Structure 1
Amino acid sequence: MTIPLTGVPLGAHAPLLAELADAGYTDVWSSEVAGTDAFTPLALASAWAPRLHLGTAIAPVFTRGPGLLAMTAVTLAEVAPNRFRLGIGASSPVVVQDWNARPFEEPFARTRDTLRFLRRALAGEMVDEEFPTFAVRRFKLERPPASPPPILLAALRSGMLRLAAAEADGVILNWLAAGDVPRVRAELEGAKDGFETVARIFVCPTADAGYARELGRRMIAGYLTVPAYAAFHRWLGRGEALEPMWRAWAAGDRRAATAAIPDEVVDALILHGTPQACRDQVQEYVRHGVQTPVIALLPTPELSTGGVGVLRTTLFDLAPTVTEA
C-alpha cells in the first residue's frame, strides 16, 4: 500500500498501519511528488508497524545530492534493518526543474551514476570519483549499514530496464496495465536471482464507473503527456489510441485532450469497481510476473463520505487473501 493514505493526516496513520499488517499487507511504499517527502512516512511506519517492509517509489536522483541520498537511505536501513528498499529514479522535468530548481539533464546517465555511487557508498566504501554527471570527493558513510538496503530502479523503456537488470536489485514499474508486464519483463532478461519487480498500481475502488473514468482521464492527461511517459506508451503500442490526446494537449486544449482518452485506456491503467473486483485485477499483475504490486489508493465518493470506517473496510477488502500472500 502507498502511504500516506489520501485524506488521513500522517500523524493519524499509526493504528491504520498496524491494521494493514493484520490484514495481510506486507509492505508500505512512499512516493515523492508534491505531497510528503519519500522518507519521513517510512521512518514513522518503521516504528508504528515493525512487521511491514518499506520502500521508496521513488526518491528522485536529482533533488538530493548523492551523499545526502546515501545518508537518508542508511538512516532508514538502520531503523528498519532488512526491511527497507531504496527505490530511485529520474523523476520528471516538472518535479526536478520547475519545482526544485535543478537542471534536468541526462536523466539516464544521472540515474546510472547515482546507482553506481550508492552501491559503493552503502557498502561502506570511500568514494572518490569523477562520474560522468557529477563528482564525489572522499565521501564515506560514518554509519554504514550492517546489511546494505537493496536498490531498485524506476524504469520505463529498454535502456533503463536493461540497466536495472544489469546493476540494480529490482525494478519499479509505473503507469502500465497488467497486460503490459510481459513486454516490460522481456527487457529484464539476465537479471540476477532475487531480482524484484515492483509495480505501482492506481486503484479507485468505487462502483461509480463514471467517477473513476473522469478521475482517471484527468490523471492520464496530466501524466502521459510528459514526454517520457508518452514515449513509454508509444513503445507499449498505445500510440494510436492516445494520439488525439497528445494532439489536443499540444494545441493547448486541455479539455479536449482529457475527453479524447478512450474508456479502454482508462480501464486498463486505473483499476476500478468494488474493492474485491479491484483486488482481483491487482492479482492479474502478479500473474504476469510482478512480485510486489503496490496499490496507490485513489479518492472515491464512498471514501470521501464514509470516513475512517469505510477506509478500514476498503483496505481489508483490497488486502491479499491468505493463498495470494
Structure 2
Amino acid sequence: MTVPLSGVPLADHAGIFTALDQAGFTDVWSAEVAGTDAFTPLALAAAWQPRLRLGTAITPVFTRGPGLLAMTAAALAEAAPGRFALGIGASSPVLVQDWNAVRYTEPFRRTRDMLRFLRAALRGETVDEVYDTFTVRRFRLERPPAVPPPILLAALRPRMLQLAAAEADGVILNWLAADDVPRVAAELGERRPGFEVAARIFVCPTEDATHARNLGRRLVTSYLTVPAYAEFHRWLGREPELGPMWRAWGAGDRKEAARAVPDALVDALVIHGSPEQCRAGVARYAKAGVDVPVLALLPTPELAAGGAAALATTIARLGMPAQVH
C-alpha cells in the first residue's frame, strides 16, 4: 500500500499500519511529490509495525545531494534492517525545477550516476569519483547499514528499463495497465535472481463508476501530459487513444482534454469497483509479471462518508481473499 493515506494525519498512522499488517499487506511504499517526504512515513512504520517491508517509490535523484541521499537511506536501513528497499528515479521537471529550484538536466545520466554512487556508498566504501553529472570527493558513510538496501529504479521506456535490468535490484513501474506489463518486462530481458518488478496501481474501491472515471480522467490529464509519461504511452501505442487529449491540453482546453479520455482507458489504468473486484484487478498485474503490486488508494464517496470505520473495512476487504467476505 502507498502511504501515507490521504486524510489521515501522520500521527494517526500507527493504527493504519496495524490494520494493513492484519489485512495481509506485506509492504508500505511512500511517494515524494508535494505531500510528505519519502522517508518520514517509513520511519514511523519501522517503529510502529516491525513486520512490514518498507520502500520508497520514488525518491528523486535530483532533489538531494548524493551524500544526503545515502545518509537518509542508510539511516532507514539501520532502523529496519533487511526490511527497506530504496526506490530512486528521475522524477519530472515540474517537481525538480519548478518546486525544488534544481536544474533538470540529463535525467538518464543523473539517475545512472546516482545508482552507481549509492551502490558503493551503501556498501560502506569510500567514494572518490568523477561521474558524468556530479563529482564526489572522499565520501564515506559513518554508519553504513549492516544490510545494504536493495536499490530499485523507476523506469518507463527501454533505455531506463535496460539500465535497471543491468545495474539495479529491481524496477518500479507506474501508470500502466496490466496488459502493458509484458511489453515493458520484455525490455528487462532475463531477470537475475532476486530482481523485483514493482508497480504502483491506482485503486478506487467504489461501485460508483461515474465517480471513479471522473477522478481517473483528472489523474490521466494531470500525469499523462507530463512529457515522460506521454512518451511512455506513445511507446505503448496509445497515440490513437490519447492524441485528442494531448492536443486539447496543448491548446489550453483542460475541460476538453478530460472529456477526450476514453472510459476504456480510464478503466485500464485506474482499477475501480468493489474492494473484491479491485483485488481481482490487482491480481491481473501479478499474473502479468509484477512481483510487488503497490496499491495507491484513491478517495471514494464511501470513504468520505464513512470515515475511519469505512477505511478500516476497505483495507480489510482489499487485503483479504474475496471468499473470506
Using the size of structure 1 for normalisation, the TM-score is 0.98
CA apart distance, 1:20: 1.0
Q: Which residue of 2 aligns with 1:59?
A: 59
1:164 and 2:164 are equivalent in the alignment: yes
CA apart distance, 1:320: 4.7
One-letter identity of the residue aligned with 1:212: A
1:229 and 2:229 are equivalent in the alignment: yes
SS of residue paired to 1:201 = strand
**Unaligned regions of 5+ residues in structure 1, if any?**
none
Take 1:228 and 1:190, find their aligned partners in 2: how far apart are those partners?
Answer: 25
Q: Does the 8 Å CA contact 1:278/1:318 hold for their aligned counterparts? A: yes
Take 2:191 and 2:274, find their aligned partners in 1: how far apart are those partners?
Answer: 36
Q: Does the 8 Å CA contact 2:276/2:322 hold for their aligned counterparts? A: no
Q: Which residue of 2 aligns with 1:119?
A: 119
One-letter identity of the residue aligned with 2:206: T
**Unaligned regions of 5+ residues in structure 2, if any?**
none
One-letter identity of the residue aligned with 1:126: T
Q: Which residue of 2 aligns with 1:39?
A: 39
Residues 65-86 of structure 1: per-residue CA shift (max 9 Å, x gap):
0000000000000000000000
SS of residue paired to 1:8 = coil
Change (3 A) 1:9 1:232: same
Take 1:320 and 1:126, find their aligned partners in 2: how far apart are those partners?
Answer: 46
Take 1:122 and 1:16, find their aligned partners in 2: how far apart are those partners?
Answer: 30
Residues 251-282 of structure 1: per-residue CA shift (max 9 Å, x gap):
11111111100001100001000011000000
One-letter identity of the residue aligned with 1:298: L
Q: Does the 8 Å CA contact 2:27/2:52 hold for their aligned counterparts? A: yes
Take 1:12 and 1:215, find their aligned partners in 2: how far apart are those partners?
Answer: 26
Residues 138-171 of structure 1: per-residue CA shift (max 9 Å, x gap):
0000001111000000000000000000000000
One-letter identity of the residue aligned with 2:241: A
1:263 and 2:267 are equivalent in the alignment: no
Q: Does the 8 Å CA contact 1:206/1:300 hold for their aligned counterparts? A: yes
SS of residue paired to 1:38 = coil
Q: Does the 8 Å CA contact 2:26/2:53 hold for their aligned counterparts? A: yes
One-letter identity of the residue aligned with 2:298: L
Residues 34-87 of structure 1: per-residue CA shift (max 9 Å, x gap):
000000000000011100000000000000000000000000000000000000
Q: Does the 8 Å CA contact 1:24/1:322 hold for their aligned counterparts? A: no
Give the alignment of 1:138-217 within 5 angstroms. Answer: 138-217=138-217
1:132 and 2:118 are equivalent in the alignment: no
SS of residue paired to 2:137 = strand
Take 2:116 and 2:191, find their aligned partners in 1: how far apart are those partners?
Answer: 16
Q: Which residue of 2 aligns with 1:248?
A: 248
Take 1:306 and 1:269, find their aligned partners in 2: how far apart are those partners?
Answer: 26
One-letter identity of the residue aligned with 1:53: R
Take 2:257 and 2:15, find their aligned partners in 1: how far apart are those partners?
Answer: 41
SS of residue paired to 1:225 = coil
Take 1:260 and 1:23, find their aligned partners in 2: how far apart are those partners?
Answer: 38
One-letter identity of the residue aligned with 1:165: A
CA apart distance, 1:216: 0.4
Q: Does the 8 Å CA contact 2:164/2:170 hold for their aligned counterparts? A: yes
SS of residue paired to 2:54 = strand
SS of residue paired to 1:29 = strand
Residues 202-244 of structure 1: per-residue CA shift (max 9 Å, x gap):
0000111001000000000000001110000011111110000
Q: Does the 8 Å CA contact 1:166/1:190 hold for their aligned counterparts? A: no
Residues 166-220 of structure 1: per-residue CA shift (max 9 Å, x gap):
0000000000000000000000113311100000000000111001000000000
Structure 1 vs Structure 2 CA RMSD = 1.0
Q: Which residue of 1 aligns with 2:9?
A: 9
Q: Which residue of 2 aligns with 1:20?
A: 20
SS of residue paired to 1:165 = helix
One-letter identity of the residue aligned with 1:120: A
Segment of structure 1 superposing worse, 14-23 or 165-174: 14-23
Segment of structure 1 superposing worse, 13-22 or 209-218: 13-22
Quote the sequence identity (%): 69
